[in-house]
Structure 1
Amino acid sequence: MESSVNFFRKIYRQEEESLGEWLGRHKLLLFGLVVAAVLMILYFKYRAPFLVLRDMLVVAHTPLWGGLLLAVWLAGLTVRAYRVHKVAEQREFVEDFRHGLDQWEYYGAWRTEKEDRRHLLTVTESGDGGIARPCLLWRDYDFEFDTKIVRGNTTWLIRARDILNYAMLQCGQSELYPHFRVNGMWVRLPRVSLSTTLPLNTWFRVRIRVQGTRVTAKVTVDDAETEIYNWDLLRPNVRTFVIGEGDRTQRADLILSYPVGSIGFREWSDTECAQFRNVRVSKI
């Protein structure tokens, strides 16, 4: 009897989580239905303002559907302005991957999964990577998450202006390679040897502080925190790139500058795979 009760409790929790994920994916549709319902209630309860609006549209030689389109457009502008204001005022971004990847711009094989009833993100074959939309205008922040190296390395993006411009820390078990991406081109900086060996297929905690031009990264393995990177990485500088192929090449000097930008993850090919969970970004 007890096992049957536990079984139905498990089914109930799964259905509850599925409903939550569905609501997260279709929140705009639900918002539209709520607005339509409110307008219908107002129309049947207070017809006079709607009749006045109709008469105004007739005088202006505007069809009723034109007025409705104008109202929808104004409502859309209002919602957009509110969302921009909300993002600007937001102090923290928390992602548990329970509701999919609606808040991310990503390319490649990104998928959400479950492990021990906890949601997580698996990234592989993602040459461009992916970034969190809510943090695009953030400057100084703490970026924390759990990660697991499945194959190759675990790679973290900071100060991402967009998917083609960001700073990157590519971290293997014993070494770390800082990178810059500028207009889709890559600059790889010298290797940094880690003061500890990171485990394979085991979760560990990462805490990255981005403040001014300095980047500090620490990992926690077996309850012991170790600093693995501390450098003035984000100081603006100029790099020379060779653009073109064959005989049609030219040199171009590009400025590497990342004053603001979001966080994200990247794993290049199927030889690289990492998992992430419990993401938290806090302004400082």
Structure 2
Amino acid sequence: MKATRKTLLGAGLVLALLGGAGNALADSVWSSAITKWDGDCSGSQRDWWDDMCMAWRHEMADRGFVPVWENFQLVKVGKYADPSITSWAYDNSRMDAHDAGLICTHGSIDGPGWVGTMHTREGGECGLNVNQMKLGKASGGRLRFFHMSSCQSMQWDNRLSWFGAAKGGVHVIAGFHGLMYIGSQYVDEYEELAADGTVSKGVGKAWVDNMHHVDHWYNSYKTICPVAMGFGNTAARSADVLNERYASKWSDTAANWATTRYISGCDPSTGGGALPN
């Protein structure tokens, strides 16, 4: 069962599920992937990760978006961190200069939230953390959709840490509660995410629907729990924006509220315990 939870920054939780509309051509999309950490940052090799990321990017290109990518040794903190927070960062001319972005890299929880492992050290750092990010027009960029093919990138107990990044005006942030997995069996899902999120459903809903798995032979006996958060100036807007498609250009609003979409009771094979019912 799909579920949503609506959150006011600093307040309690209630249930919400609303609809939406809007459609206009977006301009460009960005992706970054690492498979082999052979630079000065460390990580376990994952041969299919660039294929997963590339499948999304290629399908977005087929649907009229301009694809931009920087992979492997080009994956550095400054391209995803905001200069208003990290003075030497430059995301407004990199990932945040596009309408949608996808990063495929190792993830973990450190302190308040997600940390993504980079390939090459920059500013003395190998980890991009949530507190360095501010995505969207309010911070000098324009990103509306941010996806993370990365473990624990939307960990339930840490999900509110994304309010800071959303203050930039980003509409939807999507990741995983617990561990996610890399392999040939997942490539098509990223292509389907691009297709569904363009023509048939909102990006936030397409993420949860396409990335969810229960343990089965074709899934290497793993359960995977995707989570998407929509942000808005009202509770209704934060829920409605989960229906926004890639090709839509909905107006930007303040990130006062978030609605979280997930699979009720999903229990990842590793890394976090079951999501709420």
TM-score range, shorter chain: under 0.3
| Greater strand proportion | 1
Length-normalised TM-score, structure 1 = 0.25
